[in-house]
């Protein structure tokens, strides 16, 4: 039965960047389970499995606009080094969580100088084309 909006699908997948770097895989885990149209995963992934049957395999290249979007400059914060708690020694790539009026935001340290620290709240895969090998394991109708 071909998967359609509202159906629950179970998939195994491997995700790679254009340079071949693997960023995620379900290998060695239970299949990923999601509802098509439920918004729990990136739109391009949902589109790739829609219309497929259990046992089908598909390879898809998903542009940033159908994945995590393009980086947003408004998600980059520059804070004075003096505002970083003393027990934290910021290093590029370090992941932190900061408190905002709207709630907490996960950020990555993207630049450190003697005077300031740049924090990037964009998703790490923003701006990247994502390539997936997907195997449809099962489809449960809505």
What pLDDT, on a 0 to 100 scale, did the predictor assign at position 100? 84
Q: Which CATH class is domain 8-68+127-140?
A: alpha beta
Contacts of 39 (CB under 8 A, 6+ apart): none
DSSP labels, 69-110: -S--GGGEEEEEGGGS-TT----TT-EEEEEETTEEEEEEEE
Domain-wise residue ranges, the chain = 8-68+127-140, 73-120
pTM: 0.85
pLDDT by position in tens, the chain (length 142): 799 999 999 999 999 999 999 999 999 999 999 999 999 999 999 999 999 999 999 999 999 999 999 999 999 999 999 999 999 999 999 999 988 888 899 999 999 999 999 999 999 999 999 999 999 999 999 9
CATH number belonging to domain 73-120: 2.40.10.330
Same fold, 8-68+127-140 and 73-120: no
| Cα–Cα distance, 74 to 38 (Å, whole number) | 27
């Amino acid at each position: 039965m071909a998967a359609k909006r509202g159906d629950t699908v179970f998939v195994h997948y491997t995700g790679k960047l254009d340079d071949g770097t693997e960023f995620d895989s379900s290998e060695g885990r239970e299949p990923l389970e999601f509802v098509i149209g439920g918004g729990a995963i990136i739109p391009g992934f949902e589109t790739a499995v829609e219309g497929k049957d259990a046992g089908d395999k598909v390879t898809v290249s998903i542009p940033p606009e159908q994945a995590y979007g393009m980086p947003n400059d408004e998600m980059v914060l520059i804070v004075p080094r003096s505002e970083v708690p003393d027990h934290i020694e910021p290093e590029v790539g370090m992941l932190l969580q900061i408190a905002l009026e709207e709630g907490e935001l996960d950020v990555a340290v993207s630049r450190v100088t003697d005077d300031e620290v740049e924090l990037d709240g964009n998703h790490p895969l923003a701006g990247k084309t994502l390539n997936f090998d997907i195997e449809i394991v099962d489809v449960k109708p809505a």
